[in-house]
Amino acid sequence: MSVARAIETRDAALLPSRRDEDWRWTDLRGLIRAVPPASPVHDGGLPVGPFAGVEGDEIAIVNGRGPDLLTVAAGETRIAALRFYSGAQAGAHFSRMAITVGEGASLTLLETYETAAADYLVGAEIDISLGQGARLERIVIAADGAEGASTSMALVIMAPEARFAQTLLTHGARRQRLETRVDHPGAGAHARLDGVYLLSDKRHADLTTVVTHAGVGGDTDQLTKGVAADQARGVFQGRIVVSPGADKTDAKMGHHALILSDRAEIDAKPELEIWADDVSCSHGNTVGALDEEALFYARQRGIPEAEARAMLTGAFVGEVVDRIAHDGARAVAQAWVARKLGVAS
Amino acid sequence: MKTGSMLSIQNLSVSIDSNPILAGLSLTVPAGEVHAIMGPNGAGKSTLSYALAGKPGYTVTAGSATLDGEDLLALEPNERAARGVFLSFQYPIEIPGVPALTFLRTALNAQRKARGESEVSAPNFLKLVRAKAAELKMDFDMLKRPLNVGFSGGEKKRMEILQMAVLLPKLAILDETDSGLDIDALRIVAEGVNAMRGPERSMLVITHYQRLLDYIRPDRVHVLAGGRIVASGGPELAHELERAGYDQYSKVAA
Contact B84, B170 (CB under 8 A): yes
Quick one: three-class SS letters along B117-159?
CCCCCHHHHHHHHHHHHHHCCCCHHHHHCEECCCCCHHHHHHH
Q: Does some domain include residue A121?
A: yes
Q: Residue A303: which of B78, B85, B96 has the nearest Cβ?
A: B78
Q: Residue A305: which of B78, B97, B106 has the nearest Cβ?
A: B78
Percent of chain A with pLDDT over 70: 99
List, as ranges, residues 280-299 from A with C-beta within 8 Å of B: 291-294, 296-299
Percent of chain B with pLDDT over 70: 96
Q: Does some domain include residue A157?
A: yes
Indicate if the pLDDT at residue A224 is higher than 80.
yes
Q: Residue B82: which of A302, A312, A314 has the nearest Cβ?
A: A302
Q: CA–CA separation, A60 vs A187, rounded Å?
A: 35
Q: Residue type at A243? A: S
* Position B251 confidence tier, pLDDT thresholds 50, 70, 90: low
pLDDT given at position A201:
96
Q: Residue A301: which of B55, B81, B94 has the nearest Cβ?
A: B81
Q: Does some domain include residue B2?
A: no
Q: Residue A302: which of B81, B92, B95 has the nearest Cβ?
A: B81
Indicate if the pLDDT at residue B44 is higher than 70.
yes
Contact A145, A175 (CB under 8 A): no
Q: Convert the pLDDT of each residue in B92-137 to its tens digit.
A: 999 999 999 999 999 999 999 999 999 999 999 999 999 999 998 8
Contact A214, A187 (CB under 8 A): no
Say yes or no for a CB contact (<8 Å) between B97 and A304.
no
Q: Residue B110: which of A296, A302, A315 has the nearest Cβ?
A: A302
Beta carbons within 8 Å of A21's beta carbon, 6+ residues apart: none
Say yes or no for a CB contact (<8 Å) between B98 and A302.
no
For residues B165-199, one letter each, b for 16 or more C-beta atoms within 10 angstroms of the residue's C-beta and e for the rest, the string is bbbebbbbbbbbbbeebeeebbebbbbbbeeebee
Q: CA–CA separation, A134 vs A189, rounded Å?
A: 9
The count of other CB atoms within 10 Å of the CB of residue B2 is 8
What is the least distance, in Å, from the CA of A218 to any CA of chain B? 30
Say which residue, B49 or A345, is predicted with more confidence. Answer: B49
Indicate if the pLDDT at residue A90 is higher than 60.
yes
B134: domain CATH number?
3.40.50.300
pLDDT given at position B254:
45
Strand partners, B36: B205, B221
Say yes or no for a CB contact (<8 Å) between A297 and B95.
yes
Strand partners, A284: A254
List, as ranges, residues 123-182 from B with C-beta within 8 Å of A: 146, 163, 167
Mean pLDDT of B43-68: 96
Rg (chain A; Cα; Å): 20
pLDDT given at position B40:
87
**Backbone CA torsion sign across A286, A292, A298, A304:** positive
pLDDT given at position B180:
81
Mean pLDDT of B236-247: 86
Q: Does some domain include residue A325?
A: no
Mean pLDDT of A234-244: 97
Say yes or no for a CB contact (<8 Å) between A302 and B111.
yes
Beta carbons within 8 Å of A9's beta carbon, 6+ residues apart: none
Q: Does some domain include residue B1?
A: no
Picking from A69-78, A255-264, A334-343, B64-73, which range would have the lowest pLDDT averaged per residue?
A334-343
Q: Does some domain include residue A56?
A: yes
Number of domains within chain B = 1
For chain B, the average pLDDT equals 92
Backbone angles phi, psi at A69, to 5 degrees: -135, 140
Indicate if the pLDDT at residue B250 is higher than 70.
no
Chain A residues within an 8 Å CB radius of B77: 296, 299-300
Q: Does some domain include residue A327?
A: no
Single out the residue of A182, A94, A174, A109 nearest to residue A141, CA to CA. Answer: A109
Say yes or no for a CB contact (<8 Å) between B95 and A298.
yes
Indicate if the pLDDT at residue A334 is higher than 80.
yes
Domain containing A235 equals 36-290
Chain B residues within an 8 Å CB radius of A298: 95, 103, 107
Q: Residue A301: which of B97, B146, B163 has the nearest Cβ?
A: B163
Beta carbons within 8 Å of A10's beta carbon, 6+ residues apart: A34, A35, A37, A38, A92
> DSSP of chain B, one letter per residue?
------EEEEEEEEEETTEEEEEEEEEEE-TT-EEEEE--TTSSHHHHHHHHHT-TTEEEEEEEEEETTEESTTS-HHHHHHHTEEEE-SSPPPEEEEEHHHHHHHHHHHHHHHTTPPPPPHHHHHHHHHHHHHHTT--GGGGGSEETTT--HHHHHHHHHHHHHHH--SEEEEESTTTT--HHHHHHHHHHHHHT-BTTBEEEEEESSSHHHHHS--SEEEEEETTEEEEEE-THHHHHHHHH-SHHHHHHH-
What is the least distance, in Å, from the CA of A124 to any CA of chain B? 34
Chain A residues within an 8 Å CB radius of B76: 299, 304-305
Q: Residue A297: which of B54, B89, B111 has the nearest Cβ?
A: B89
Indicate if the pLDDT at residue B252 is higher than 80.
no
Single out the residue of B71, B140, B82, B90 nearest to residue B116, CA to CA. Answer: B82
Say yes or no for a CB contact (<8 Å) between B93 and A297.
yes
Number of domains within chain A = 1
Any B CB within 8 A of A324 CB: no
Mean pLDDT of A278-302: 96
Mean pLDDT of B143-153: 94
Chain A residues within an 8 Å CB radius of B163: 301
Say yes or no for a CB contact (<8 Å) between A303 and B96.
no
Indicate if the pLDDT at residue A99 is higher than 60.
yes
Single out the residue of B175, B98, B55, B92 nearest to residue A308, CA to CA. Answer: B98
What is the least distance, in Å, from the CA of B234 to any CA of chain A? 30
Contact A236, A26 (CB under 8 A): no
The count of other CB atoms within 10 Å of the CB of residue A96 is 15
Q: Does some domain include residue A181?
A: yes
Indicate if the pLDDT at residue A345 is higher than 60.
no
Indicate if the pLDDT at residue A22 is higher than 50.
yes
Q: How far is CA B116 from CA A137, A146, B82, B110, in A?
A: 45, 38, 10, 10
The count of other CB atoms within 10 Å of the CB of residue B80 is 26
Say which residue, A207 or A277, is predicted with more confidence. Answer: A207
pLDDT given at position B245:
84
Q: CA–CA separation, A22 vs A247, rounded Å?
A: 27
pLDDT given at position A23:
96
Say yes or no for a CB contact (<8 Å) between B76 and A314.
no
Q: Does some domain include residue A330?
A: no
Say yes or no for a CB contact (<8 Å) between A299 and B89.
no
Say yes or no for a CB contact (<8 Å) between A298 and B163.
no
Mean pLDDT of B65-70: 95
CA atoms within 13 A on the CB side of B126: 6
Any A CB within 8 A of B46 CB: no
Domain containing B193 equals 7-253
Q: Convert the pLDDT of each residue in B183-213 to its tens digit.
A: 888 898 899 899 999 999 999 999 988 889 9
Say yes or no for a CB contact (<8 Å) between B53 and A300.
yes
Chain A residues within an 8 Å CB radius of B85: 300
Chain A residues within an 8 Å CB radius of B107: 298, 301-303
Q: Does some domain include residue A21?
A: no
Indicate if the pLDDT at residue B1 is higher than 50.
no
Say yes or no for a CB contact (<8 Å) between A299 and B81.
yes
Q: CA–CA separation, B195 vs B189, rounded Å?
A: 10
Any A CB within 8 A of B116 CB: no
pLDDT given at position A246:
96
Indicate if the pLDDT at residue A131 is higher than 80.
yes
Any B CB within 8 A of A344 CB: no
Single out the residue of A264, A119, A144 nearest to residue A200, CA to CA. Answer: A264
The ipTM is: 0.95
